[in-house]
Amino acid sequence: MNYPGLLRQFFRLRANTKKTRAQITALQDLRLRTLLAYAWDHSDWHRARFEQAGIARGQLSSLPLAAFPTMSKRDLLTHFDEIVTVPGLRQDDLRRFDENDPLGERSLAGGYHVVHSSGSTGTPGYFVYDNAAWEQMLLGIIRGALWNMGAGDILRLLLGGPRILYLAATGGRYGGAMAVGDGAAGLRAAQLHLDVNTPLAEWDRRIRAFRPNIIIGYPSAVKILGEQLTRGAAKYEIRRVICCGEPLAPGLRLYLENAFGCDVVNFYGASESLALGVETGNVDGMVLFDDMNVIEIENGEMYLTSLYNYAQPLIRYRVSDRLTLREPAPDDPYPFTRADLVLGRCEDLLWFDDGAGGREFLHPLSVEGFCIEGLRDYQFRQTGAGSFELLAEAAEGCRTAVGNELGRQMAQILCEKRLAHVAFEIRFVDRILPDPRTGKKKLILTGPAEKEKRA
């Protein structure tokens, strides 16, 4: 999409924030019915599932969404080839594409964008977006990043030249890094992607040279930058901070607002739909993008229907996050559903002595992309100021090979972070279970090993 076209589409999507609740509900339902019909006509798996549930095509325009069957991540992994609507696209094609060119081409032949999920709920999977869905998602992200800004302020920021620092895990085909990169390019913004594995000694030098006015990144990583700022070790003039990838605690939000002297936006997204919602304060909760998705809560489970991705229809797809939903109040400035609480992954950092009298860290999301045949799952536990253990789940017959490759990759990551002196031990366990509070696996465990519970 060219720059003028992107701006036109952005302000058109932004206009939805001024519509009435009834208008948004009608728009959401129209897009839902269009998606259901498309899935029936082009997805063998969805059509068969609808028919098994006793749903005829003529009922797609009237049945409530709750009448349709749900789908799980296992369904997606097992039946990927029948779910997607792109002729000839196979899950094995995406794996080969990811393995052979993990950081090169931004899209698969034909204009399909491939996102590698983080695997925080188990086996990693692939989510594919066609060009239309990708552009719609980018518009949603840009709208969220500039939430609560007036049209004049937005234009002044864009015309003045945005300089975007992305501070997160940048290696691999992660949706956040891909979306920020493409969105910034679409806005003609300068950008610096700084991987959280970059040694802290390099942060200040590279960021000073870049001079960002917008920061996007994991809250825990942005906090470290804020600490450098408050200690006087750095000086930046930041217009906006956008947090993503982790829950943003109220106390951390207040700290970041004070440290950077600007508004802090908490963006909510997932590999399944990279534009889900936005939060701008501690009181009113998260605003969910009802014009782009349908989010349901049923028996405590969250189900997502993405209304803009026709290449891989996700209809009532189970997501492990926990939300409490409520309708917008009559005086709410936005016509969207509110989420009072978002419980997702909330990780600590692995901190170590850097060998030179200081401290250095590993961010859990920067080491989350291990793809080793036979490795089912893994977790970390810090055991000392210069040591940790890596808990791995793998079948008995392949543990030696898995352990060797896991050790090699972990050593490479430590070397890149200048933590080669840190000792680690790989220990195999029978099973790694999710955190019962959040439904997601914790990458970093706290407490002694003997308190660990295994099935």
Verify that 373 and 240 share a domain, yes or no: no
State residue 346's pLDDT score.
Answer: 54
Q: Tell me: the pLDDT tens digits for 308-319? A: 999 999 999 999
Verify that 395 and 322 share a domain, yes or no: no
Verify that 399 and 278 share a domain, yes or no: no
Verify that 296 and 368 share a domain, yes or no: no
pTM (two decimals) = 0.83
The domain that holds 50 is classified in CATH as 3.40.50.12780
Verify that 280 and 399 share a domain, yes or no: no
The domain that holds 411 is classified in CATH as 3.30.300.30
Q: Tell me: the pLDDT tens digits for 206-252? A: 998 999 999 999 888 899 888 888 877 677 889 999 999 887 878 88
Verify that 93 and 109 share a domain, yes or no: yes
Verify that 371 and 282 share a domain, yes or no: no
Give the residue from 318, 345, 372 where a domain finishes: 345
State residue 105's pLDDT score.
Answer: 52
Q: Domain total for the chain?
A: 2
Verify that 31 and 97 share a domain, yes or no: yes
Verify that 376 and 332 share a domain, yes or no: no
State residue 454's pLDDT score.
Answer: 42
Verify that 154 and 295 share a domain, yes or no: yes
State residue 92's pLDDT score.
Answer: 85
State residue 452's pLDDT score.
Answer: 46
Ranges in the chain, pLDDT < 70: 101-110, 118-124, 171-172, 233, 341-347, 365-371, 434, 436-440, 447-455
Q: Tell me: the pLDDT tens digits for 5-25? A: 999 999 999 999 999 999 999
The radius of gyration of the chain's CA atoms, rounded to the nearest angstrom, is 22
**Range(s) of the domain holding residue 186:** 1-345
Verify that 120 and 255 share a domain, yes or no: yes
Give the residue from 345, 371, 405 where a domain finishes: 345
Give the residue from 345, 362, 387 where a domain finishes: 345
State residue 285's pLDDT score.
Answer: 87
Verify that 33 and 179 share a domain, yes or no: yes
